[in-house]
């Protein structure tokens, strides 16, 4: 994959025109290692029978993201109750990196920095698409609270308000870098926009086989610049690990955030 040379290069979910045509990053050197790993679209697994679909998971490793975040240190440094959302890339080998945190509650800066830094060393359970490990894009939510002088951390692999409020066992669909999908050419920064960031949120209906049934623009900023159209068109052709509820693949509707980063300050919202 080669990084886009456009003046409005992408920070998240926006493609270059290389083989993978998906993502160009413009900060933190560790991201480039993650991108290289994600380019291994699928990894054959010996001596293991894999299911047809399985989402990437936090796992129970000692280096799992939830186990590497230092909650005691956060509390001692003054982090109070906070919630934030994130997007991460997880390779077919289970290596991951949180690329963006956004929509954080006030005073969530310490938590955001901790999540970003710790994710570089985190190990995840890799996703499975049609019996092969694949690289995926994961969206999630981190909740930190202090109760009776003790820190509590929860990480959800979805951003749906109703599920988060009820603490339901729901894992949102994950965009998969699967082989054999010639229709998906990525999500491009609008060619006529020479500078400036943009945001789009797309509501997707994904069936129990990971196929997109419908894609509707839910939010776009700034309006009329083509960010929403690019996001909707790209995601319609993508394939996903289906959503999982209570351990089973299910059809579902969810919102997928796209952040386009130009030469000016990146937007905080997703």
All structural domains of the chain with their residue ranges: 30-181+192-260
Q: What is the residue-averaged pLDDT of the chain? A: 81
Six-digit token string for 124? 């995840």
Six-digit token string for 196? 């400036």
Residue 37 pLDDT class (50, 70, 90 cuts): very low
Average pLDDT of span 202-226: 95
Tell me how far CA of residue 134 lies from CA of 22, 111, 266, in angstroms: 15, 29, 29
Of 192, 122, 193, give the one whose Cα is nearest residue 155: 122
Of 164, 73, 60, 177, give the one whose Cα is nearest residue 117: 73
pTM for this model (two decimals): 0.80
Average pLDDT of span 71-97: 95
Residue 7 pLDDT class (50, 70, 90 cuts): very low
Of 233, 252, 227, give the one whose Cα is nearest residue 184: 233
CA distance 170 to 24: 29
pLDDT at res. 86: 94
Average pLDDT of span 191-195: 66
Strand ranges inside the chain, DSSP E: 42-43, 53-54, 82-90, 96-102, 127-129, 132-134, 136-147, 150-156, 170-171, 174-176, 198-206, 212-221, 240-241, 243-245, 248-250, 252-260
């Amino acid at each position: 994959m080669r990084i886009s040379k456009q003046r409005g290069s992408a920070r998240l979910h926006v493609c270059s025109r290389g083989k993978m045509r998906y993502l160009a990053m413009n900060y933190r050197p560790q991201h480039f290692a993650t991108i290289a790993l994600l380019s291994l679209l699928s990894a054959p697994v010996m001596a293991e029978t894999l299911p047809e679909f399985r989402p990437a998971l936090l796992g129970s490793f000692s280096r799992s993201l939830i186990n590497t975040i230092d909650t005691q240190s956060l509390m001692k440094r003054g982090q109070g109750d906070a919630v934030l959302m994130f997007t991460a890339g997880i390779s077919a080998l289970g290596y991951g990196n949180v690329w963006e945190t956004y929509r954080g509650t006030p005073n969530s800066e310490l938590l955001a920095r901790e999540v970003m830094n710790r994710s570089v060393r985190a190990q995840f359970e890799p996703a499975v698409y049609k019996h092969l490990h694949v690289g995926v894009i994961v969206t999630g939510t981190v909740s930190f609270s202090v109760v009776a002088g003790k820190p509590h951390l929860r990480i959800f692999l979805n951003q749906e308000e109703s599920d988060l409020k009820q603490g339901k066992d729901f894992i949102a669909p994950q965009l998969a870098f699967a082989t054999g999908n010639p229709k998906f050419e990525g999500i491009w920064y609008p060619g006529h926009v020479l500078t400036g960031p943009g945001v789009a949120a797309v509501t997707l209906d994904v069936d129990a086989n990971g196929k997109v049934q419908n894609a509707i623009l839910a939010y776009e900023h700034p309006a009329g610049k083509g960010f929403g159209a690019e996001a909707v068109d790209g995601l319609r052709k993508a394939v996903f690990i289906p959503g999982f509820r209570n351990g089973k693949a299910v059809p579902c509707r969810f919102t997928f955030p796209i952040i386009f980063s130009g030469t000016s300050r990146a937007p905080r919202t997703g």
